[in-house]
């Protein structure tokens, strides 16, 4: 299901990369996670023209929504291979530097171009925190797209061990425990630059106490390639 995110998101199910490691292999799992994440961040996912195309798709979907009440339509086979590939994305809308909507997926469920189109429409018209976008707001609207890397589970034995692995300004996190989940996109570090504060607030937004801890708590890390107009 789509997720809202302004630093207060409820998440969809983490990807298969978050599978529980076999008992006794946590150290190896941590090394593997670092290698997998590093490989996924070795190069930009998209070139300048592909970024521009995704922003155009997002804007067209919003315009189409204003005219018809439905997301924009795409001929997906006409898009480049990178935009046809399954990837997860968030679309963030701002108006006069204030959040106006943010919807996305944490898992890749459809081609990237279609995900951006659907999420742009949803951010404009279905984010439950805001009224539907009005035509009068369109000219001043700022659109940002964040393309996510696959989530990788972190291995740790206590909160200190988890905090030591976090990379402020770069990591997006998914936290899950006691049937609750929450996510912060990497942009949230701008408001919460200290790892301790970032983690405490993420627990709160997942519906847990800020000092909550248990042996069942799980955390996944992902990164984003973000760009806007």
- Measured distance CA(161)–CA(164) in Å, rounded: 5
The helix/strand/coil state of 219 is strand
Say if CB 208 and CB 178 are below 8 A apart: yes
Q: Looking at residue 18, what is its pLDDT?
A: 27
What is the number of helices (H) and of strands (E) in the chain? 6, 9
Residue 137: predicted pLDDT: 98
pTM of the model: 0.75
CATH of domain 48-148: 3.30.700.20
pLDDT at residue 139, as a whole number: 96
pLDDT for 103: 95
DSSP 136: G
Residue that has been written with the tokens 């970024």 in this structure: 51
Domain locations along the chain: 9-18+153-228, 48-148
Residue-level pLDDT at 176: 97
Mean pLDDT per 10-residue section of the chain, whose length is 229 residues: 48 29 25 36 76 98 97 94 96 96 94 98 97 98 96 97 98 97 93 98 97 97 94
Write down the CATH superfamily of domain 9-18+153-228.
Hypothetical protein ph0010; domain 2 (3.30.1490.150)
Q: φ and ψ at 169, to 5 degrees?
A: 85, -15
Cα 223 from Cα 121, distance rounded (Å): 23
């Amino acid at each position: 299901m789509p997720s809202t995110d302004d630093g207060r998101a409820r998440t969809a199910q983490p990807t298969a990369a978050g599978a529980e490691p076999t008992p006794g292999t946590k150290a190896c799992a941590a090394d593997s996670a670092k290698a997998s994440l590093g490989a996924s961040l070795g190069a930009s996912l998209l070139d300048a023209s592909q970024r521009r195309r995704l922003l155009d798709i997002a804007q067209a979907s919003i315009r189409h929504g204003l005219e018809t009440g439905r997301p924009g339509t795409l001929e997906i086979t006409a898009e480049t291979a990178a935009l046809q590939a399954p990837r997860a994305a968030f679309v963030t809308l701002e108006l006069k530097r204030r959040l106006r909507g943010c919807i996305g997926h944490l898992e890749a469920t459809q081609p990237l171009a279609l995900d951006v189109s659907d999420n742009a429409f949803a951010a404009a018209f279905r984010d439950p925190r805001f009224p539907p976008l009005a035509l009068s707001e369109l000219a001043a609207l700022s659109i940002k797209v964040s393309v996510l890397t696959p989530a990788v589970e972190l291995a740790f034995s206590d909160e200190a061990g988890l905090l030591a692995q976090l990379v402020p300004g770069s990591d997006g996190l998914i936290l899950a425990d006691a049937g609750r989940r929450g996510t912060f996109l990497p942009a949230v570090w701008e408001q919460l630059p200290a790892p301790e504060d970032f983690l405490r607030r993420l627990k709160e937004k997942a519906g847990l106490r800020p000092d909550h801890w248990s042996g069942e708590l799980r955390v996944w890390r992902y990164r984003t390639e973000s760009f806007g107009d």
